[in-house]
Amino acid sequence: DTGVSQNPRHKITKRGQNVTFRCDPISEHNRLYWYRQTLGQGPEFLTYFQNEAQLEKSRLLSDRFSAERPKGSFSTLEIQRTEQGDSAMYLCASMGTPLREQYFGPGTRLTVT
Amino acid sequence: EDQVTQSPEALRLQEGESSSLNCSYTVSGLRGLFWYRQDPGKGPEFLFTLYSAGEEKEKERLKATLTKKESFLHITAPKPEDSATYLCAVQPRERDDKIIFGKGTRLHILP
């Protein structure tokens, strides 16, 4: 499989619980992005990695959010003490060289009850 | 500030009725403009990249064009399976790590 994969596809959690999502990018791509998307909106940038280095974080990314990309391969996005406002689709995208279009995974739909 | 505005927000067409979607952008130098298709509950699917004014790309019933201030996605004789949200995004020349998305146009093709 040469596409971007994300797990889980759906997550329902109670307010206050922690959740973790995983993204596996296209293997030769060294840039990995996380976005959040709510209904009727385009993807909103959260953070991105160049190999294992996290190079930028959006102001949207509160201190309850943390992302890692150990060894520059897969990435995880963790949300601690979830709130109802965190309910959204979380998208992962990877970008190869030359730095052009991004390829997205299927997303993880988070519902916080 | 870099910005992407898509219009209309939503569009309903009869099968076979051609139309165009608009993407207006403000960016300090354009490195690339991208079109994506997104089906409900799924991630965006890459369609086209345009790099310079005057460039055109085609795929089946879709054709994307680019000017210095906007891009159009023309859909010719659409079919119900073309129903989706179409997203436009720009990449500034000075920041190749930054991709700015519009809110998308929801396209519904009636049989």
Tokens of B11: 């569009």
| B107, pLDDT greater than 80 | yes
In the predicted model, what is the mean pLDDT of residues B7-29? 96
Q: What are phi and psi of A70, to 5 degrees?
A: -65, 135
DSSP helix, strand, coil percent of chain A (3-state; round to 5) = 5, 50, 45
Distance from CA of B49 to the nearest CA of A (A): 7
Nearest to B49 among A93, A100, A106 (CB): A100
| Two tokens, residue A18 | 């922690």
* Residue A48 vs residues B1, B7, B47, B51, B105: alpha-carbon distances, Å: 20, 28, 22, 23, 26
Beta-bridged to residue A12, according to DSSP, are: A111
Whether pLDDT at A32 is above 60: yes
Return the ∠ at Cα A66 (arms to A68 and A85), rounded to 5°: 140
- Residue A67: both structure tokens together: 């992302």
pLDDT recorded at residue A60: 79
Statement: residue A64 has pLDDT above 80: yes
Interchain contact, A99 vs B103, CB within 8 Å: no
- Read off the pLDDT band of A1 (50, 70, 90): low
User: How close does chain A come to B92, measured CA to CA in Å?
Assistant: 11
Rounding to the nearest 10 degrees, give the CA dihedral for residues B46, B50, B51, B54.
180
Give the pLDDT of residue A16: 97
Residue of B nearest to A98 (CA): B96
- In percent, the amount of chain B with pLDDT more than 70 equals 100
Spatial CA neighbour of A58 closest among A43, A70, A44, A41: A44
| Nearest chain A Cα distance for residue B99, angstroms | 8
Residue B96 has a pLDDT of: 80
Interface of B with A in 41-100 (CB under 8 A): 41-46, 49, 87, 89, 91, 96-99
Helix, strand, coil shares, percent, chain B, to 5: 5, 60, 40
Confidence band for B54, pLDDT divided at 50, 70 and 90: very high
For residue range B59-69, list pLDDT tens digits in order.
999 999 999 99
Span A67-108, pLDDT tens digits: 999 988 999 999 999 999 999 999 999 998 776 889 999 999
Tell me: pLDDT of A33 over 90. yes
CA gap A48, B100 in Å, rounded: 13
